[in-house]
Amino acid sequence: MTFEVQILGYGAAAPTLRHMPTSQLVNVHDKMFLVDCGEGTQVQIRKYRIKFQKIDHIFISHLHGDHFFGLIGLLSSMHLLGRTKDLTLFAPKGLQKILETQFEASETRLKFQLIYIDSKTNQRKLLFEDKTLEIYGFPMKHRIPTTGFLFIEKPRKAKIRKSFIKAYNLCIEEMVQIKNRKDVHRSNGDVISWEECTFDLEQIKSYAYCSDTAPCESVRENAKGVSLLYHEATFHSSLKDRAKSTFHTTSEDAGKIAQEAEVGKLVIGHFSSRYIDENILLNEARTYFDQTELAFEGMKLVITDKANAVRSEDMNT
Ligand SMILES: [Zn+2]
């Protein structure tokens, strides 16, 4: 089942010719979720041949401009291209007023319904779910309220080994329990472990998005064991005071967080424009967490069925 993240932009607030501001497309089981929407995101969507109208859910982490200034352009284009189906925006409360003011001033009357869901969370909160996926918001530590997002597959039914059905003489109810990954407790005190009776389980794939934030416990908890973590690393540790005062993270801290949270792979981004060669950030993060990569535009991260395995592809070539 598809579980991919594509980086559309990964720069910090100041514009550069090297990267676009933050935006990503998360494709889970062929559902497209846009995460943050910096200026120019609609052009990036065109560039990477993503269908505008396949995006039905947009998640905005916080209301600093480099994370949402692309929304008005994208939504207006969806309207121009004839969209009629609803679109859900998970964002801090203030966004609705901003967008409505822009639509009013430009005399744009959308042909589709925008549904606003307040993403501001003081604790982990389920924002979206369908049959196979759950998306949670969780609090981070920034200058204004900021939400991280966790995409996690729902556990699939386990497959039972036929030999165990016979060996334990499992009845239908017991088989259902085991398929739902629950141990069977019999009245005679016997316990049948679901893990012992099942085989070839696909790994639960998961992705945590964390930008912008100072290092925080909530990220460590919510990103615990994820297949892939995207974490900002705006500064090198030589500027840790600047990172602290602006509520951002250094590449040293990003590496430590990935190590402590025992994630499969770390991708760092949201680099300050002062770094011409970002390898300085990569090398520092890798000191603590070997499985680290630098974000780059067009980078596609494919989470595979093996435990915490992530393959990265360059979509520019
Ligand atoms: Zn910010």
Q: Convert 234-266 to b/e letters by CB count within 10 Å (16 or more is b).
A: bbbeebeeebeebbbbbbbbbbbbbbebebbbb
- Confidence at residue 115, expressed as pLDDT on a 0 to 100 scale: 97
- Confidence at residue 11, expressed as pLDDT on a 0 to 100 scale: 82
Average pLDDT, the chain: 92
Q: Output the CA–CA distances (angstroms, integers) from residue 218 to 168, 204, 210, 214, 313, in the order listed.
A: 43, 21, 10, 11, 30
Q: What is the reported pTM?
A: 0.88
DSSP for 65-82 reads GGGTTTHHHHHHHHHHTT
Q: Output the CA–CA distances (angstroms, integers) from residue 54 to 34, 51, 170, 206, 240, in the order listed.
A: 10, 6, 44, 21, 40
Q: How far is the CA of 169 from the centre of ligand 1 (A)?
A: 58
Q: How far is the CA of 248 from the centre of ligand 1 (A)?
A: 8
Tens of pLDDT, residues 212-225? 999 999 999 999 99
Other Cβ atoms within 10 Å of 141 Cβ, number: 16
- Confidence at residue 317, expressed as pLDDT on a 0 to 100 scale: 46
**Low-confidence residues of the chain: pLDDT under 50:** 317
Residues, CB within 5 angstroms of ligand 1 (ion) = 64, 212
- Confidence at residue 314, expressed as pLDDT on a 0 to 100 scale: 75
Q: How far is the CA of 64 from the centre of ligand 1 (A)?
A: 5
Q: How far is the CA of 93 from the centre of ligand 1 (A)?
A: 16
Q: Which residues are catalytic?
A: 66
Tens of pLDDT, residues 52-74? 899 999 999 999 999 999 999 99
Q: What percent of the chain has pLDDT over 70?
A: 98
Q: How far is the CA of 200 from the centre of ligand 1 (A)?
A: 42
- Confidence at residue 304, expressed as pLDDT on a 0 to 100 scale: 86
Task: Judge whether 36 and 24 are in contact, CB under 8 Å.
Answer: yes
Q: Which residues contact 262 (CB under 8 A, 6 or more apart)?
A: 224, 225
Would you give the DSSP letter of residue 259? Answer: H
Give CA–CA dist 58/37, Å, rounded.
8
